[in-house]
Chain A
Amino acid sequence: MPEIKERNSLEHAADERWEQETLAPVLQKRSERKQRFTTVSLDEVERLYTPADTTDIDFPEDIAYPGEFPYTRGIHPTGYRGKLWTMRQFAGFGTPEETNKRFKYLTQQGQTGLSVAYDLPTLMGYDADSPLAEGEVGKCGVAVSSLADMETLFDGIPLDQVTVSQTINAPASVLLAMYLVVAEKQGADWSKISGTLQNDILKEYIAQKEWIYPIRPAMKLVIDTFEFCTRHAPRYNPISVSGYHIREAGATALQELAFTLRDGIEYVEWGIRAGLPVDQFVPRISFFFNAHNDFFEEIAKYRAARRIWARVMRDRFGAHDPRSMQLRFHTQTAGVSLTVQQPLNNIIRVAIQALAGVLGGTNSLHTDAYDEALALPSDQAALIALRTQQIIAEETGVANTVDPLGGSYFIEALTKKMEDATLDYFAKIDAMGGMVASVEKGFPQREIQESAYQYQKAVERGEQTIVGVNCYQMPQESGHIQLLVIDEGVRDHQVERLHQTRLRRDQGAVANRLEHLKQAAHKGENTMPATIEAVRAYATLGEICTALREIYGEYEEPPF
């Protein structure tokens, strides 16, 4: 196409003219602040972006209109003019009673969705009275060991009206079962309930490291939930494919994007292999990304994510339903970016990160509390975090127009660069035999470790600056902030409750149903129906996971 070529060279010629006539004399007088300007991912950023940087981008093909393929500009034609993003603050600590109270408080303050943080014993499939749970009960989230705890957690919260997101992975099928049974007891129809289970086991082996079983049986449990929800809870999102933890573990923005989307591809492949039609289950796959400090890099990441997913679903999997191609995602601001030093500064970091999420078109958002480098959020810190989102939504005007940064030379060039580099990672992972095989080989784990180390070195060399940490430090930190303290009484309370639950239930029924579950797992049947029956009989989380451990074994991480 000679016409386009000529335009390109004209654009380059225009850039050269500016560089010679206007830029060069200024650089001669005064050099720039740094030799090299980089993003927080240590990726180089050019001085200026012009039409010459976007010549390989085709407007109708690559950018297009919101609500239309490839959804670069968003999945809704009206952006946030129709509906704001869901303000979904992740919360959970102490006993189910305490977290239930926090949920009600956040809802009264205008929060529009709930998100449960479970404690480490729950995340690892141990009951509160397990010796391994000592010191950990209720610390990183709420302690849930049985259906009785789940009933208390959602007491007075109608599950057919509120959408609840649950951050749970290795034992996700059990917590889903508990959730469904609580909903049923409230009189809610499973076909009407909505919400999200994180259930992304791949990123556990890659980054978050809260696993129970070996990778392949764990993948099978994920697919069981896909199958079950497709049939019985069609409005429920059985997975949130998560880059958040991959990023927190040290990945660059690109690695977060590439590994997360490749994880998504892996789940789709496993679902198809289990016999699920693509357009039946993929529309309910959701995603979860980090919002880190580098504003434009993050916005480009979200836009690239939508475009890549749409193309992968259409071209790699032959999806027809537009909903299979529309990537929906939750965003959380970067916990890892928060500093202990001058902690109130974190309020500003969170606000800017949240703004990137919004300008990237996030569907829901969690804003971190400023005290999270020190402890779990206090009431006051949690409230400021929510208010931050409300200020962005109600005061800044950024929600007035769709994809306001679309068409920016810089943003479009960066979006394209992210897309191209992601496809390179896909090719590498495909060549290794897919994501499960790559994880078994330790590929993403090593990539992330390397990036984490390089970042730390860049901070220590002063190339990456963090206010209050390696610049603008204050020798004596003044001011004291009130932190949330979880006392050891939480464990005693939970252990006593668990004891009461065990006394009240029909032991024969529990043993029987756990045996059924083991048989289902052993035969390779879908484990969800047997899990639900075990939960109904008040079998505990620990008992159910132990039953499955007996069949599947446990994962041991090789040294990478």
Chain B
Amino acid sequence: MSRKIRVLVAKPGLDGHDRGAKVIARALRDAGMEVIYTGLRQTPEMIATAALQEDVDAVGISILSGAHNTLCPRIVSLLREKGMDDCLVIVGGIIPQEDIPHLKELGIGAVFLPGTSTEDIIVFLRENVRPRN
């Protein structure tokens, strides 16, 4: 039996809007994944370190403050520096359409906007997390 998908749900920056992060964390858990929630106000360094320590398959960044263009690329590059090249990074929150292509070029696997069904996120993770032994 393959191991459960492990996901770090992360809230970077000063943003305190955690409704989405908590709903997603619970939905992923209900879908059988192992979920670690960072809590609020994490720096990119703290998030990358937690991802490494927890040996997660995916990091889900929740951000509604408009600081995504600064914080998301930094998280991705720190994960790569730590050798977590296979770790899938997805983002959810208030992200203008115009910013999405750029975020994807920098290594963000998907950007989920308000109104996304938790089921879509679950399916995306199941289909895109690299299988490990």
The interface of chain A, by Cβ under 8 A from chain B, is 120-121, 123-124, 126, 132-136, 139-140, 204, 208-210, 248-250, 336, 338-341, 373-376, 449, 452-453, 456, 459-460, 466, 468-470, 483, 485-486, 488, 557, 559
Q: Is the CB of B65 within 8 A of A140?
A: yes
Using A135-B70, A209-B40, A483-B98 as known contacts, say yes or no to A121 and B119 having CB atoms under 8 A apart.
no
The closest CB in chain B to the CB of A211 belongs to B16
Chain B residues, Cβ within 8 Å of A469: 115
Q: Is the CB of A452 within 8 A of B70?
A: no
Within the assembled complex, what's the spacing in Å between the Cα atoms of A317 and B97?
A: 52
Within the assembled complex, what's the spacing in Å between the Cα atoms of A374 and B94?
A: 6
Q: Is the CB of A139 within 8 A of B65?
A: yes
Identify which of A209, A459, A485 gathers the most chain B CB atoms within 10 Å of its CB.
A209
Known: A135-B67, A136-B14, A452-B23. 11 other contacts (CB 8 A): A123-B14, A135-B70, A136-B13, A136-B65, A136-B70, A210-B14, A338-B114, A339-B114, A449-B26, A456-B118, A466-B115
Identify which of B39, B66, B96 gathers the most chain A CB atoms within 10 Å of its CB.
B66
Pick from B16, B23, B97: contact of A210, CB under 8 Å:
B16
Q: Shortest Cβ distance from A321 into chain B, in angstroms?
A: 36
The closest CB in chain A to the CB of B18 belongs to A209
Decide yes or no whether B117 CB sits under 8 A from chain A.
yes
Q: Shortest Cβ distance from B26 into chain A, in angstroms?
A: 6
**A-contact bits for B8-43, CB 8 A (1 contact / 0 none):** 000001111111001100110000000001011001
Within the assembled complex, what's the spacing in Å between the Cα atoms of A336 and B14?
A: 19
Chain A residues, Cβ within 8 Å of B18: 209, 249
**A-contact bits for B74-86, CB 8 A (1 contact / 0 none):** 0000000000000
Within the assembled complex, what's the spacing in Å between the Cα atoms of A459 and B26?
A: 15
Q: Shortest Cβ distance from A496 into chain B, in angstroms?
A: 19
Decide yes or no whether B128 CB sits under 8 A from chain A.
no
Within the assembled complex, what's the spacing in Å between the Cα atoms of A456 and B116?
A: 10
Chain A residues, Cβ within 8 Å of B39: 557, 559
The closest CB in chain B to the CB of A486 belongs to B66
7 A-B pairs with C-beta separation under 8 A: A120-B15, A139-B66, A249-B18, A250-B19, A452-B22, A453-B22, A559-B37
The closest CB in chain A to the CB of B16 belongs to A209
Number of A-B pairs, beta carbon distance below 8 Å = 92
Chain B residues, Cβ within 8 Å of A470: 117
Q: Shortest Cβ distance from A387 into chain B, in angstroms?
A: 24
Pick from A132, A374, A483: contact of B14, CB under 8 Å:
A132
The closest CB in chain B to the CB of A137 belongs to B67
Within the assembled complex, what's the spacing in Å between the Cα atoms of A143 and B75?
A: 25
Within the assembled complex, what's the spacing in Å between the Cα atoms of A210 and B71?
A: 19
Q: Is the CB of B94 within 8 A of A375?
A: yes
Decide yes or no whether B106 CB sits under 8 A from chain A.
no
Within the assembled complex, what's the spacing in Å between the Cα atoms of A408 and B23?
A: 37
Q: Is the CB of A136 within 8 A of B67?
A: yes
**A-contact bits for B111-129, CB 8 A (1 contact / 0 none):** 0011101110000000000
Q: Shortest Cβ distance from B34 into chain A, in angstroms?
A: 16
Within the assembled complex, what's the spacing in Å between the Cα atoms of A458 and B98?
A: 31
Q: Shortest Cβ distance from A259 into chain B, in angstroms?
A: 15
Within the assembled complex, what's the spacing in Å between the Cα atoms of A76 and B24?
A: 45
Q: Is the CB of B67 within 8 A of A139?
A: yes
Q: Shortest Cβ distance from A461 into chain B, in angstroms?
A: 10
Q: Shortest Cβ distance from B1 into chain A, in angstroms?
A: 28
Q: Is the CB of A248 within 8 A of B66?
A: no
Using A250-B19, A452-B23 as known contacts, say yes or no to A140 and B117 having CB atoms under 8 A apart.
no
The closest CB in chain B to the CB of A138 belongs to B66
Pick from A120, A126, A339, A452: contact of B19, CB under 8 Å:
A452
